[in-house]
Structure 1
């Protein structure tokens, strides 16, 4: 994780500016940034790793229902929203980076079956930080995680979402 400074510096922003700049780090969940700002930001949070720690702590401290809202805000991997071009810019880049935009019709059908089996079992979409993974790694992770309990899988999904947030913040200093 880079220790470069985020621009604009989170600790120098008003609440409105901070939420405008960083409220999209968690998919359709600006409340995470709102709470982080409300708790107070220092220069430690002006780096991707520092801000990721604070934002992750907010999500980790949220109750299970609030965490489920964040999980449910994520799209299916290689799902209908991706095919229709309805993903957020971050999700589109992330899924393309893992090659999910290059799936064969058979692979897309497999993703669709696994996405549905996962949602049937847990009541929320499968979420994984795809950076550094390819579609085969992701398909394997589906099989492994389908063996988890609901609580275990909620915690795993939150860990993955926090990892996605770290990658997104890192990407902001690398652009």
Structure 2
């Protein structure tokens, strides 16, 4: 699906229209779309894969502080915002698709414990592209990644966020 052309093609959009269409790809961080547009768009960015690469590069080359802003904009997995129904539409669909809305009370308690331990260690929420994973795989990744260094985990979170963005763009191309 990544070679499908996004409609309308991103390169044909002015700045405001581009940001209106793609500003929510990165959770509460429209600056990623703004910077991508400012860097220039060609036919290569008219596909989900091409646009994901360009937007991912904008985040990957940003300062650590800007990266942390984007990471911190993400909700906890199976956290209070999810339970209260306060997630973005994309996050709600993604977490439900991984079965996080069907956790047992024990699993919810485990997610809460891991969310707290993770944030205490790294000072940002655990971020994972959950599409294609179930809650058991997510819990295992949570536990494994708690052993990363802070810099390694920031880089891993950025990689996961860029994967989330690619999946979201692919979903939009399919609509």
Q: Could you tell me which residue of structure 1 aligns to residue 95 of structure 2? A: 95
Deviation track 1:56-93 (CA, whole Å, cap 9, x = no partner) reads 00000100000000000000000000000000000000
SS at match of 2:127: coil
User: Once the 2 structures are TM-superposed, how far is the Cα of residue 118 of structure 1 from its aligned partner?
Assistant: 0.1
Indicate whether 1:14 and 2:31 are aligned. no
Corresponding residue pairs, total? 175
User: Once the 2 structures are TM-superposed, how far is the Cα of residue 41 of structure 1 from its aligned partner?
Assistant: 0.3
User: Once the 2 structures are TM-superposed, how far is the Cα of residue 2 of structure 1 from its aligned partner?
Assistant: 2.0
User: Once the 2 structures are TM-superposed, how far is the Cα of residue 151 of structure 1 from its aligned partner?
Assistant: 0.2
Q: Could you tell me which residue of structure 2 aligns to residue 30 of structure 1? A: 30
Q: Could you tell me which residue of structure 1 aligns to residue 110 of structure 2? A: 110
Residues of 2 paired with 1:7 and 1:118: CA distance?
Answer: 39
Q: Could you tell me which residue of structure 2 aligns to residue 3 of structure 1? A: 3
RMSD: 0.6
SS at match of 1:11: helix
Q: Could you tell me which residue of structure 1 aligns to residue 59 of structure 2? A: 59
Residues of 2 paired with 1:142 and 1:130: CA distance?
Answer: 12
Q: Could you tell me which residue of structure 2 aligns to residue 133 of structure 1? A: 133
SS at match of 1:148: coil
Q: Could you tell me which residue of structure 2 aligns to residue 81 of structure 1? A: 81
Structure 1: segments with no counterpart, 5+ residues: none
Q: Could you tell me which residue of structure 2 aligns to residue 40 of structure 1? A: 40
